[in-house]
Amino acid sequence: MQPFPFSNRTAFESSENAIARHLARRRARGIDVIDLTESNPTSQLDLCPEAGFWADCLSDPRGARYAPDPCGLPETREAIARDMATRGIELSPERIIVTASTSEAYAFLFKLLADPGDRVLVPAPSYPLFEFLAGLESLHLDFHRLAYDGEWFIDFDVLEEAITPRTRALVAVNPGNPTGAYLKRAELDRLSALCVRRNLALICDEVFFDYALDAPRAEMASALEDCEGDCLRFVLSGLSKSALAPQIKVGWIAARGPEAQVVEAMRRLEVTSDAYLSASTPAQLAVPRILGARCSIQAPLQARLRANLDALHHLWRERSTAAWQPLRTEGGWNAVLRLPRTRSEERWVLSLLDEAGVLVHPGFFFDFPEEAFVTVSLLIAPDLFLEGMRRLDEHIARMALE
C-alpha cells in the first residue's frame, strides 16, 4: 500500500529522545526523581486557589447560553482593559481579541501577517513551541541570537542581518523564556523603529511580565507602551501565567500602532476568530473575577520564585569552587545555569538523572547557541528545589574531579 500523502506541515519528529527514555525507565522502576523542570502551576496546589474559587468563577448562569462574540465577550475584554489600566496602560477593549490560549493567539497572528513560505524571526534562546506553530502555518523560522555579557541583550547587528525580503514579523518574549530577560525601554524603541523601517509587525509575548525578580524596573518596557517609531505591534498574555490558570483556557491579543493599520488588523482578526470561536462562554465570564483576584493569586508564587532564586545563589556563593554558574535571571519562572564544557549537555542531563536523580532541561531544548547550559524551574516547593540543587551541585563537583 502506498504511503498516504499527509501534509508536510504535520511531519514533526515524534520519537522519544534519550532523556525521555531514561526518565521513563527510571519512573517505571519507581526510582526517585526530583523534577526541576516542572512548569505546571496547578501541580503546586499550595500556590493555587482552592477548587471552590474556580467553581464559583465558572458558575455564572449566563454560561449556559451560547451567544458568542468573535472578538470575545464585551465584559471579558473590558476586564482585560481594566487590568491593563492597573499597570498604567490605557487601551480600548476594542483593541483586544480573546483567544483560548497564547498558542492560538500566535496562530491567528501568523495567519494575519504572513503567507505560506514567508518567514518569522524569533529570539534564541527561547521556548521551542515556535517551530511547531510556524510550521503549522507553513511558515519558516529564522533566529536572531540573544547575547549575554552579565545580562541578556538583543544584538541588533545580528538581528538586522537575519531579516530577509520574506520576513513578515519579529517575535520578542518579555521577559524571555528561559532567559528571564526583560525588554528594556531602549530596546523597545529600537525594535519599533526597525520594524517601521523594514515594514515588519512586532509580536511581543508578555505572559511572564508580572514576575519580576531582579529586573531594573525603571527600564522594563511593555510593548503596549508608547514607543519611538510606533510600529504595528501585538502583545500576548493570558490567564495561564497571570492567574496560574492554564486549565481555564483564556488568552488574548492586544493591538497597538498606527490607527489605520490597527483597524485593518482588528477587522481581519475578527473574521479569523469568528471562524473558530474557541474561547468558551463560562471561561470568558469568569475573567473579570479572576483578574480582580490576580494580585492575591500571584503573591504566593512571587514569594516562592524569589526564595528559590535566592537559595540557588546562596548555594552557588557558599561553594567557592562551584563548577557551575547561574546566569542573571531578571524575571519569569526559570533559571539558567552554565555547566563545565567537559561534556555535552545531553551527557550532563543524563548523568544528573541517572546518578543524582535530578531532571533538568538541556540548553539545546531552547536553542542555546553553544554548550553547556541547563535550565531549572523556580516553581517547585522550596525544600524540594533546594534538595535538587544540592544534588546537582554535588554531582557536578564530583564529575569535575574525574
In a domain, 2, yes or no: no
Instruction: Output the nine-digit C-alpha cell for 165.
Output: 525580503
Choosing from 272, 292, 312, the residue where a domain stops is 292
In a domain, 32, yes or no: yes
Q: Are residues 282 and 309 in the same domain?
A: no
In a domain, 1, yes or no: no
Q: Are residues 327 and 219 in the same domain?
A: no
Q: Are residues 88 and 221 in the same domain?
A: yes
Where does 156-293 have alpha helices with state H? 156-162, 185-198, 239-242, 259-276, 281-292
Greatest CA separation for the chain? 67
Q: What is the pLDDT of residues 36-64, one digit of tens each?
A: 999 999 998 889 899 999 999 999 999 99
In the chain, what is the straight-line distance between the N-terminal and C-terminal CA atoms, in Å? 54
Query: For residue 42, which amino acid is it?
Result: T
pLDDT higher than threshold 70 for residue 402: no
Domain count, the chain: 2
Report, as an integer, the average pLDDT of 242-251: 96
Q: Are residues 63 and 87 in the same domain?
A: yes
User: In which band, very low, low, confident or very high, does the pLDDT at 101 lie, cut at 50, 70 and 90?
Assistant: very high
In a domain, 358, yes or no: yes
pLDDT higher than threshold 90 for residue 16: no
Q: What is the mean pLDDT of the chain?
A: 94
Report, as an integer, the average pLDDT of 332-360: 95
Q: Are residues 148 and 124 in the same domain?
A: yes
Q: Are residues 304 and 285 in the same domain?
A: no
Choosing from 234, 266, 292, the residue where a domain stops is 292
Residue among 293, 288, 262 nearest 97 (CA)? 262
Identify the domain containing residue 332 by its residue range.
9-38+296-401
In a domain, 312, yes or no: yes
Q: What is the pLDDT of residues 143-186, one digit of tens each?
A: 999 999 999 999 999 999 999 999 999 999 999 999 999 999 99
Report, as an integer, the average pLDDT of 323-335: 95
User: In which band, very low, low, confident or very high, does the pLDDT at 14 lie, cut at 50, 70 and 90?
Assistant: confident
